[in-house]
Structure 1
Amino acid sequence: MSNKIIDVVAGALMRPDGSFMLGSRPEGKPYAGYWEFPGGKVEPGEGHFQALRREFAEEMGIEVTSATPWLTKIHHYEHASVYLRFFRIWRWMGEPQPHEGQAFAWQTPGQLTVAPMLPANGPILKSLELPDAYAITCAHEMGVEAQLAALAEKRWGLVQVREPQMSRDELADFVARAAAIVHGYDGRLVVNADPAWCADWPVDGVHLNGARLHGLRARPDFSWVGASLHNRDDLAKAGELGLDYALLGHVAATASHPGETPLGWDGFAACLAGEVPVPVYALGGLSLGDLDAARKQGAHGVALMRGAWR
């Protein structure tokens, strides 16, 4: 294998309904016929967004007008190692046309209809199943019955049960009731607790606090695993374990962290300035109105606790 590292940008065209576009690799290129997120090499002296705009203009004749940074991946092929910087593209001008003899296909997250997928792009598909907003329970403040009622009313697509004051038996009962509600509208439920507790619970995954994150050598055996982060070392550990997402904060002042200095958007962006191996939600004192700001700083979306239930 070559030691050469190629700097590449790739982009997912995103529709408001969450669907995204894939393109096939044309004849004459390595992995011809495989499907991928369109993009290409960054030219010398070229910025990453500039490269993204050029590649999409050349490949499909559209003008990218709004895109946000998202994930980075390093993939080793036989001929080279590729450093991929993924963007999500929210707005563009024109209709995609196959300028290089490729095919295009709009896809729904979790329901891929084309194959085979280029190996470097495959792991990105699961990330697109994550919603823009992530809700965290607050039964310790609202009360159990009020929290369960709010779960039924708000219908968040991804919910973390975080109730550290509950005993194991109390938590098991609450999780069972919450899961029945969330799964009833096809949402996902993860639990912030010892993974060993949750093995037989009706949950989709677990969420790791900082101590559990750094105490593990391997990813817990659940479909979805996330973690709470506070710095770049935490982010690197989440990538090492192959987690599915992370929460990074706190961005703004919160009642949960009185007297602690928040990261602010500058601090949040600094944590995501290098490699971003997993989708990251911005957390702490935020609302859905902060979604665009979070995306511009490289976040996948926003995570809400008290703000999810108001």
Structure 2
Amino acid sequence: MKKQVNVAAAVITRPDGSFLLGQRAPDTFYPGYWEFPGGKVEKDETVREALIRELHEELGITVRSAWPWITRDHVYEHANVRLHFFFVTDWEGEIEAKVHTSLVWQKVDSTSVGPMLPANAPVLKALRLPHVMGVSNATELGVDAQLAALDKALAKGLRLVQIREGWLEPEIRLEFARQVVTRCRAVGALALVNGEASFAKQIDADGLHLASVRLAIIDERPNFAWVGASCHSRTELERAAALGLDYALLGPVCETASHPGAPALGWKRFSEWIADLPMPVLAIGGVSPDALTTAREAGAHGIAAIRSLWI
């Protein structure tokens, strides 16, 4: 039986969005392959403690800020490895290659080195997912007002939009959705459809977002570049993971304007429910971009908002 190894791995990021990769040394498994810095969790050591120790030993830095992110399992020839990824955004010291042959800063949309260590390669797509999702609200705001608000949000940097307008008249919905896709594509933002796969294909959307009721009945991942789902329980999150979805939304985290008095998860339960999942999870329900740091400290990839982004 192969041994089980827990590894702490760091996505070390700079303000410009670039992240650090290291090239494995000649005397290691997979020499010459590129990886995210980190290392094995030792006995009587938490994953966070291992992360801090390993980054000091490998890079000569002292971690100031580390946010839990995703957990990926990979079967190697020598061991079953569970990688616990953290975002590291603040540290002391100058980064230097103490164990790697080379270090390089990369951008998510233009990675130039390879090959990647097999366990780390799927993480690159997850890194491409923006940290803020705007969920359209044209049914309440009106189509023209929603498109104007979208233009402003895109100009401010929004790069992930969910089109969620099942209540609009079909012809109005079709034209609205096409307008959203056109506007998003012009700035490199992703536009996903909450609804039918046929509709998403009709407007050439970047992907499909599944309601929780749809998530419960499908047998395989829909054939889109990006697929995510709305979840309201740990069971639904695990189903999204089993289907190989790219992300999930979990909520409501806080009380919402649309459902005042409805039970909310709170950040503690949110953090517990998303622990050890292989895909990014965004917090939704009574959250705004102001809560982004709080969400990421709780392990979220980011936040999704239906109203606060369009003000």
How far did residue 186 of structure 1 move? 1.4
- Asked whether the 8 Å contact 1:136–1:161 carries over to 2, the reply is yes
CA deviation map 1:102-142 (0-9, x unaligned): 21110001211000001100010011111221110010110
Residues 95 and 167 (structure 1 numbering): CA distance in 2 closer, same or farther, change over 3 Å? same
The two structures have a TM-score, normalised by structure 1, of: 0.97
| Residues 1:105 and 2:104 are matched in the alignment | yes
- Look up the match of 2:46: 47
Is 1:263 aligned with 2:265?
yes
Residues 88-103 of structure 1: matches in 2 within 5 Å? 88-103=87-102
Query: For residue 283 of structure 2, what is the aligned residue in structure 1?
Result: 282
Q: Does 1:160 align with 2:159?
A: no
- The amino acid of 2:285's aligned partner reads G
Deviations 1:214-264 (A, max 9, x none): 111111111111111111111111111111111111011112223311111
Counterpart contact for 1:244–1:278, Cα < 8 Å: yes
Residue 162 of structure 2: SS of its match in structure 1?
A: strand
AA partner of residue 247 (structure 1): L
Name the structure 2 match of 1:218.
220
Q: Please show how residues 1-310 of structure 1 align to structure 2 within 5 Å.
A: 2-155=1-154, 156-273=158-275, 275-310=276-311
Separation (CA, whole Å) in 2 of partners of 1:168 and 1:112: 41
What percentage of aligned pairs have identical amino acids? Answer: 45
Q: 1:101 deviation in Å?
A: 4.2
What's the offset of the Cα at 1:196? 2.7
Specify the SS of the correspondent of 1:196. helix
**Separation in structure 2 between the aligned mates of residue 133 and residue 198 of structure 1, nearest angstrom:** 21
- The question of whether the paired residues in 1 share the 8 Å contact of 2:58 and 2:100 is answered with no
Cα distance between partner residues in 1 of 2:166 and 2:259: 15
**For 1:167 and 1:241, how far apart are their aligned partners in 2?**
32
Opposite residue 166 of structure 1, the aligned amino acid is L
Query: What are the superposed Cα offsets for residues 49-89 of structure 1, whole Å, 9 maximum, x if unpaired?
Result: 11001001111111111000000011001111001100000
Change (3 A) 1:85 1:101: closer
Question: C-alpha distance in 2, partners of 1:277/1:263?
Answer: 21
Letter in 2 for 1:209: A
Contact 1:110 1:126 in 2 (8 A): no
Does the 8 A contact of 2:108 with 2:128 survive in 1?
A: yes
Cα deviation, residue 167, structure 1: 4.2
User: Which residue type is aligned with residue 190 of structure 1?
Assistant: L
SS in 2 for 1:128: helix
State the SS of the aligned residue for 1:197. Answer: helix
> 2:122 & 2:258 partners in 1: Cα distance?
34
**Which amino acid is the alignment partner of residue 38 of structure 1?**
P
Structure 1 residue matching 2:219: 3-state secondary structure: coil
| Residues 62 and 96, structure 1, Cα contact 8 Å, conserved in 2 | yes
Question: 1:147 corresponds to which letter in structure 2?
Answer: Q
Structure 1 unmatched ranges of 5 or more: none
Q: For the Cα contact (< 8 Å) 2:181–2:203, is it kept in 1?
A: no
Q: Give the whole-Å Cα distance in 1 for the aligned partners of 2:216 and 2:120.
A: 27
Partners of 1:169 and 1:140 lie apart in 2 by 14
Structure 2, unaligned stretches of length 5 or more? none
Question: What SS class does the counterpart of residue 74 from structure 2 fall into?
Answer: strand
Cα distance in 2 for residues equivalent to 1:283 and 1:73: 23
| Matched AA of 1:184 | A
Q: Identify the range of structure 1 (249-258 vs 66-75) with the bigger mean alpha-carbon deviation.
A: 249-258
Amino acid at match of 2:21: L
Q: CA RMSD in A?
A: 1.1
Q: What secondary structure is seen at the aligned counterpart in 1 of 2:201?
A: coil
Confirm or deny: 8 A CA contact 1:161 1:175 kept in the other structure. Answer: yes
Supply the AA of the counterpart residue of 1:13: I
In the alignment, the residues of structure 2 paired with residue 249 and residue 36 of structure 1 have an alpha-carbon distance, to the nearest angstrom, of: 33
Amino acid of the structure 1 residue aligned with 2:26:
E
Q: What is the one-letter code of the residue matched to 1:108? A: K
